[in-house]
Every structure is written in C-alpha cells, then in structure tokens.
Amino acid sequence: MAKCVSIMEVQNQPKKTSSLANVRVVVRLRPYMRKDDLKQQGPCVRGLDSQCLEIINWRNQLETMQYQFDAFYGEDSTQKEVYTESIEPILSNLLNGQNASVFAYGPTGAGKTHTMLGSPEQPGVIPRSVLALFRMTQAESSSRNYEQCDISISMSYLEIYQEKVLDLLEPKNQDLPIREDKEKNIFIPNLTQKTISSFADFEQHFIPASQNRTVACTKLNDRSSRSHAVLLVKDSLGGSAHSVMITNIAPEHRFYFDTLTALNFAARSKQVVNRPFTRETIQATALAPLKRPREETDTNSGSN
C-alpha cells in the first residue's frame, strides 16, 4: 500500500517570508470501517491523549512505541474539530500577507480524502477553509474603504503523477513544466487560474475537476496511490510560512508497517522544523499482538 498526499496551498501574492517554515504536525487515526475487523483483532495503534499515541513494537510485542505530535485526533474526532483546532488558526495569517499550506499524508485508505475533501454531510478541510477565506475577505473588504480594497481570490488545481503535471481545471493541459524564477518562487506556466467570487463559484470548478481526477484514477490502476493533488487558492506554488501536515493512519493490523513508516516520516518532519519528537518504549497492555511479517521491506516497497 503506497503513500500519497493531497495538498491545499492558500497563497498570497508571492512575497518573501521567513525561510524557517513553521510546520504543525498532527496525526488522525480513522475508525474501523467494519465491525468484524475490530472483533477479529484489536487495533495495532491507539491514542493516549490529545498529543500522544502508541503503536505496537513489532520487534517485541510486549512493548509499544510512543509518539508525541502537535495534536492527535482519535477515531471519534470530527471534521469540525480537526479544522477548528489545527487549520483555522493558520488562515488568519493570510490577510497579513503570509502563505499557508495544508497537506495530508498516509497510506491509501487511511482517510486523506475524507479529511481534506470529506462529503456534503461531513465537509473536510478544503471546503471549510475556502468558505472561511471568503468570509474573511468579505469582512476585510467591508472594514477597508473602497480605494484600499484589492482582494481577489483565484484557484488552480493540479495533479502530479510520475513527475508530470496535469491541469485538473483544463485536462487537455497535460505534462506542464514546473519552473523556478530568480526569487526561487516555483510556478507552473500556463496552469489555468480561475477567479472565484463565491463559494458556489469554487464548487462549480472544484467538483467536476475532482471528478476528472477520479476518472483518471479509475482508468489507470493504482494511480490514486501514487499521485498528488494540489489545490492552489491565490497564485503560486512555493514556500509557505505556515503549514499543517496531517498524517492519516488506520487501526487495522494490515496497515501496520505503512502506519509505522508514516509516523516516522511525520516525526522526522516535526524534528526538522520544530522541536524533536520523543519516543519511548513502554509495556503494551491493551493492544492486540501483531503477526510479524516476513520482511519489513516487502510491505514498504510500494511507498512513494
């Protein structure tokens, strides 16, 4: 099972910001999708509190490994909770001229799409953030006078698959180049940009474009697990002053090594830009024993 990411970048006009990125690393554990799975085997990973979790140590099943992140969201966490606690706070920086990005990472089936897109009943990070962005700009516009008011929102939506860029708003634009300007801003020439003036406008472009992606995924086996979807809301791809990395994980034992790899990647991301993660070994009491796989590397070989 491979990893993949979906990313939302909410960007202001390119502007030099601090080179030290401020990344908030959070982990979300999805619930069991089938009651039968839970009955057969307990989870291989579980939350300890609002920041810590533990996972069975496959080398010694009497032990677990503990991780600490900026936030941990358990099986019962809601879409609203994830958005309000971890995403909403960084959006306020946009009106100060700073950029923000959110990306989801983790094994296929662990809940990235649910967290980022969600459903009409349970909207995820992307629709909630875009709605908030419109509310924020409206409030800002009405608090400024007419001459000062220069706020417009546009969107681009692309997919990166095998290092090729596909323009999801204009699927005939395939294999677009990625360029860097003198100021090290990364951009994609000729990538479609649509100006959006309301949330309904956003949905009108976003929903069919997401379907373009789904169709492509279905046509090409395993594409979904190796492609990266990027939604850009204002106009360049590049460094971000405020980032949230959501690591999605699943409780089932069949995800164990993908979960471990994802947690280690998340912990390293946190270590690089934030404070070091702590990892301890404690006695496993309530977690179910794990069947040791033949080869750890076998399970991880599909990762990208």
Site residues (vs ligand ADP, CB under 6 A):
30-31, 33, 106, 108-114, 248
Could you tell me the smallest distance in angstroms from the CB atom of residue 238 to ligand ADP? 25
Question: 206 or 242, CB closer to ligand ADP?
Answer: 206
Could you tell me the smallest distance in angstroms from the CB atom of residue 140 to ligand ADP? 33
Could you tell me the smallest distance in angstroms from the CB atom of residue 75 to ligand ADP? 7
Could you tell me the smallest distance in angstroms from the CB atom of residue 251 to ligand ADP? 11
Question: 214 or 271, CB closer to ligand ADP?
Answer: 214
Tokens found for residue 206: 């976003």
CB atoms under 10 Å from CB of 91, counted, come to 19
Could you tell me the smallest distance in angstroms from the CB atom of residue 33 to ligand ADP? 5
Question: 67 or 255, CB closer to ligand ADP?
Answer: 255
Q: Nearest-CB residue to ligand ADP?
A: 111
Question: 101 or 227, CB closer to ligand ADP?
Answer: 227
Question: 126 or 191, CB closer to ligand ADP?
Answer: 126
Could you tell me the smallest distance in angstroms from the CB atom of residue 274 to ligand ADP? 24
Could you tell me the smallest distance in angstroms from the CB atom of residue 112 to ligand ADP? 3
Tokens found for residue 85: 């606690």
Q: Which residues contact 299 (CB under 8 A, 6 or more apart)?
A: 256, 257, 258, 293
3-state secondary structure the chain: CCEEEEEEEECCCCCCCCCCCEEEEEEEECCCCCHHHHHHCCCCEEECCCCEEEEECCCCCCEEEEEECCEEECCCCCHHHHHHHHHHHHHHHHHHCCCEEEEEEEECCCCHHHHHCECCCCECHHHHHHHHHHHHHHHHHHHCCHHHCCCCEEEEEEEEECCEEEECCCCCCEEECCEECCCCCEECCCCCCEEECCHHHHHHHHHHHHHHHHHHHHHCCCHHHCEEEEEEECCCECCCCEEEEEEEECCCHHHHHHHHHHHHHHHHHHHHHCCCCCEEEEECCCCCCCCCCCCHHHHHCCCC
